[in-house]
Amino acid sequence: MEPGNITQVSKFLLLGFSDEPELKPLIFGLFLSMFLITVLGNLLIILAVSSDSHLHMPMYFFLSNLSFVDICVTSTTVPKMLLNIQTQSKVITYEDCITQMNFFLVFSGMDDFLLAVMAYDRFVAICHPLHYMVIMNPRLCGQLVLVSWVTSVLHSLLQTSVVLRLSFCTKVKIPHFFCELNQMIQLACSDTFLNNLVMYLAAMLLGCGLLAGMLYSYSKIVSTIIRISSAQGKYKAFSTCASHLSVVALFYCTVLGVYLSSAATQSSHSSAMASVMYAVVTPMLNPFIYSLRNKDIKRALKRIIGVPVM
């Protein structure tokens, strides 16, 4: 396209899921319910961990951080979509779009880092139980979370900086419910080679690198559990990491589903539908997964809501 036909737009249009007027109340109610459940469920996890001294352990410290990040992930995308439905407007300014994309990259990256850190925590707990409290001391736990935050922020700033150099055609319509990085790159009118290069290199180094670390941790965990002689010992060891393994599987399966489905169908609408899984559904389900399979969390939650603990 000729340079004269390219301008830096001031507004984008978030197309969302449907233009059917009769479906908008249903979509609004559904996403409002999921948002409230996500915020309430994760706040209860944070409150349970902070109020119960028995949960002041590395595993629950990381879990409370994950719950905070899950609230932030959902809060970055859903409220703007609900506001647009309520006001019957699809407009999002260029500045708001870039800001939304930036914060979503930060918090989704933190999700990935925290899952890797929690896998390492389970590796130390099961493979080196006698040295667990020495290795996973408060200083190391704080450093792991701090490094995760710093790396996520730097990655987000890198991605955002290369998006800022792009030019967009007028009347840009984003076939999504939020400003997602891949969608922004696809809609640009200028050369996107650098953006694609940075995006895929980051996916390989961060996404695949962290996944490889988790797979290594769980391979060691499985080999350790197999060597345990008693069935009760095997069950107890596996139960300590079952919830985290479920969350890891849910997170990566939904993320892979988004990119595989969009690559197979080339449909932005199907990509938006798939993105709901890791951007909205996964943060909503995490508190249920951890609370339902963890007796300590359930006991702390019962104390909070005033249910007698047996």
User: Which pLDDT tens digit goes with each residue over 77-132?
Assistant: 999 999 999 988 889 999 999 999 999 999 999 999 999 999 999 999 999 989 99
The two structure tokens encoding residue 44: 């209860």
Asked if residue 309 belongs to a domain, the reply is no
The two structure tokens encoding residue 62: 């990381």
Residues contacting residue 252 through CB under 8 Å, at least 6 positions apart: 211
Asked if residue 55 belongs to a domain, the reply is yes
| Radius of gyration for the chain, computed over Cα atoms and rounded to the nearest angstrom | 21
| % of the chain at pLDDT higher than 90 | 49
Question: The pTM is what?
Answer: 0.90
Q: If pLDDT is split at 50, 70 and 90, which confidence band does 151 have?
A: very high
- pLDDT tens for 188-218 read 888 899 999 999 899 888 888 998 999 999 9
**What pLDDT score does 4 carry?**
40
Residues contacting residue 192 through CB under 8 Å, at least 6 positions apart: 166, 185, 186
Asked if residue 246 belongs to a domain, the reply is yes
The two structure tokens encoding residue 57: 């352990």
Number of structural domains in the chain: 1
pLDDT at 261 over 60: no
Distances (CA, A) of 2 to 173, 187, 193: 20, 16, 18
Q: If pLDDT is split at 50, 70 and 90, which confidence band does 247 have?
A: confident
**What pLDDT score does 270 carry?**
64
**What pLDDT score does 243 carry?**
80
Asked if residue 289 belongs to a domain, the reply is yes
**What pLDDT score does 146 carry?**
97
Looking at residue 277, its amino acid is M
CATH of the domain at 229: 1.20.1070.10
Q: Average pLDDT of the chain?
A: 86
- Domain limits for position 94: 10-302
Asked if residue 238 belongs to a domain, the reply is yes
User: What DSSP letter does each residue of 275-291 carry, written as one string?
Assistant: HHIIIIIHHHHHHHHHH
Q: Which residues pair with 174 in a beta bridge?
A: 14
Asked if residue 230 belongs to a domain, the reply is yes
Q: How far apart are CA 241 and CA 53, in angstroms?
A: 21
- 3-state SS track over 172-216: EEECCCCCCHHHHHHHECCCCHHHHHHHHHHHHHHHHHHHHHHHH
Asked if residue 308 belongs to a domain, the reply is no
Asked if residue 176 belongs to a domain, the reply is yes
Q: How far apart are CA 108 and CA 135, in angstroms?
A: 27
Q: 186 or 114: which carries more pLDDT confidence?
A: 114
Query: Do residues 118 and 66 lie in contact, with contact meaning Cβ atoms separated by under 8 Å?
Result: yes
Segment 209-231 mean pLDDT = 89
- 248: buried, middle or exposed (CB in 10 Å: 19+, 13-18, 0-12)? buried
